[in-house]
Amino acid sequence: MDVNLLRKQFPALAQTLGDHPLCYLDTAATSQKPLRVIEAIDSYYQNDNANVHRAAHQLSSRATNRYEAVRDSVQQFIGAQRREEIIFTHGTTEGINLIAHGLSSQIKAGSLILIDTAAHHANLVPWQMLAQRTGATIEAIALNETCRIDQAKFSAQLQRRPALVALSHVSNVLGTVNPIKQMAAQAKAVDAITIVDGAQAIAHMDIDVQDLGCDFYLFSGHKMYGPTGVGILYGQFDRLDSLTPLLTGGEMIKSVSFDNTEFAILPNRLEAGTPPISAVIGLGEAINFLQSLPQPQTRQHEAELLHYLQQSLLALGDITLYGAHADNLGAVAFNLANEHHQDVGILLDQQGIAVRCGHHCAMPLMQALQLKGCCRASIGVYTSTEDIDRFIAALGSVKDLLL
């Protein structure tokens, strides 16, 4: 796989910051975008800009066709059974809020909601709000000393028949991968609804939602080489159909009178208002981009690179890695001795290295690790060995300065 050739498709990667070429190791926060995605959005605005589903004119039908074609692409991309199971949202956060609101009448006082300790706040706060509205109880799914989910404790929690199990597929901080297929099957056996946050998985592994067996799966376009402002909520048809719509108004109705409103069928029922049309079209092109990558070479490239990153950090010395495993995906969490993560991040930035520092929207995980925060380096298909070498050299100079 020729990474240098691939990088040419990403205009933002070619820039320099001061005297330093950009070394972008923050793909887990948002990926850079290939030119073809930018051009797809541009071509929609230049040629086909119109609202979808509404008008009799040709521009509108072109826009609608492009928009609805992406639903088919997503269905095929994640192996959903029906196109109506694909709901366009503005991102993972909105999708989870949509489910949490939509389930309000199904969750009762005393219901138990289990949440992955490593969950992003997007997969935690909406459940907390749901619990406050309904009187349900929240419990963390504990991690073991290697930062993986403690499966024995999880099995024991399931004996208490939770109503909901909220999991991350891949931790946005650690890069650890949860065995979703196995956990979803266990949850299903006790009639729990499984929600899987796939925001950090979708760009790094093949997803087949039917094989995973979860009820809901969510991801954001901007973490998979697509634009911001669009995401996917996948739900098994009956589960989706049972959600009370969070947003109501235009587009999601069948008939309206002053006395009553009859909602439309899926998927429109859950897509009120004008959707993010250009972003959906960009997402479609991002899927085309991902599907054009040579496999298994691309997956292998990312796996080797992540291993190289973990090993290079350890070789540098005075580094603590958190939850680093050989089968992790996309990200490495670390601290340099007792130095503040923010200081490390700022000093790296002065050398053109972009990493993320802080609590990574996972404060409960930080509490479990007894950390105020940490640094995270994350990779994408365009990350090169040279990126890792530059990062390690820069971190070495930060270490010399601070220690």
User: If we measure between CA atoms, which residue out of 92, 99, 121, 97 comes closest to residue 283?
Assistant: 92
Exactly one of 23, 214, 361, 374 is catalytic; name it: 361
Residue 122 sits in the site that holds ligand PLP (CB under 6 A): yes
User: If we measure between CA atoms, which residue out of 55, 123, 120, 51 comes closest to residue 280?
Assistant: 51
Segment 231-260, which members bind ligand PLP (CB under 6 A)?
231
Tokens, residue 109: 């006082």
Interacting span for ligand PLP (CB under 6 A) from 119-127, 135-143, 315-323, 387-395: 119-127
> What would you report as the CA-atom Rg of the chain, rounded to the nearest whole angstrom?
22
Q: How far is the CB of 51 from ligand PLP (least distance, A)?
A: 24
DSSP assignment, residue 142? P
Residue 111 sits in the site that holds ligand PLP (CB under 6 A): no
DSSP assignment, residue 166? E
Q: Residue 277 in 3-state DSSP? A: helix
Residue 118 sits in the site that holds ligand PLP (CB under 6 A): no
Interacting span for ligand PLP (CB under 6 A) from 13-21, 34-42, 118-126, 284-292: 118-126
* Contact criterion met (CB below 8 Å) for 203 and 31: yes
How many whole angstroms from its chain centre is CA 400?
Answer: 35
Segment 159-178, which members bind ligand PLP (CB under 6 A)?
168, 172
Q: How far is the CB of 279 from ligand PLP (least distance, A)?
A: 11
Residue 31 sits in the site that holds ligand PLP (CB under 6 A): no
Q: How far is the CB of 122 from ligand PLP (least distance, A)?
A: 4
Residue 117 sits in the site that holds ligand PLP (CB under 6 A): no
Tokens 């802080």 correspond to: 358
Is the CB of 229 or the CB of 392 nearer to ligand PLP?
A: 229
Q: Pick the binder of ligand PLP from 73, 75, 93, 351 (CB under 6 A).
A: 93
Q: How far is the CB of 92 from ligand PLP (least distance, A)?
A: 4
Q: Residue 373 in 3-state DSSP? A: coil
Residue 80 neighbours by CB distance under 10 Å? 23
Q: How far is the CB of 191 from ligand PLP (least distance, A)?
A: 25
Tokens, residue 254: 């069948």
Interacting span for ligand PLP (CB under 6 A) from 193-201, 255-263, 275-283, 303-311: 193-201
How many residues interact with ligand PLP (rule CB under 6 A)?
13
Burial of 177 (0-12, 13-18, 19+ CB in 10 A): buried
**Phi and psi (nearest 5°) for 89?**
-125, -175
Q: How far is the CB of 328 from ligand PLP (least distance, A)?
A: 14
Burial of 241 (0-12, 13-18, 19+ CB in 10 A): middle
Burial of 361 (0-12, 13-18, 19+ CB in 10 A): middle
Segment 205-224, which members bind ligand PLP (CB under 6 A)?
220
- Which phi-psi region, left, alpha or beta, contains residue 63 (left: φ > 0; alpha: ψ -120 to 50)? alpha
Residue 71 sits in the site that holds ligand PLP (CB under 6 A): no
Q: Residue 133: in which H helix or E strand, if any?
A: helix 125-134
Is the CB of 63 or the CB of 167 nearer to ligand PLP?
A: 167
Tokens, residue 253: 């109705």
Q: How far is the CB of 120 from ligand PLP (least distance, A)?
A: 3
Residue 297 neighbours by CB distance under 10 Å? 11
Q: Is 361 a catalytic residue?
A: yes
Q: Pick the binder of ligand PLP from 192, 199, 331, 357 (CB under 6 A).
A: 199
Q: Pick the binder of ligand PLP from 200, 312, 335, 383 (CB under 6 A).
A: 200
Is the CB of 91 or the CB of 323 nearer to ligand PLP?
A: 91
Residue 180 sits in the site that holds ligand PLP (CB under 6 A): no
Interacting span for ligand PLP (CB under 6 A) from 46-54, 91-99, 149-157, 277-285: 91-99
Residue 203 sits in the site that holds ligand PLP (CB under 6 A): no
* Contact criterion met (CB below 8 Å) for 316 and 396: yes
Q: What is d(CA 392, CA 83) in angstroms, rounded to the nearest whole number?
A: 45
Residues known to be catalytic: 361
- By CB under 6 A, name the binding residues for ligand PLP: 91-93, 120, 122-123, 168, 172, 197, 199-200, 220, 231
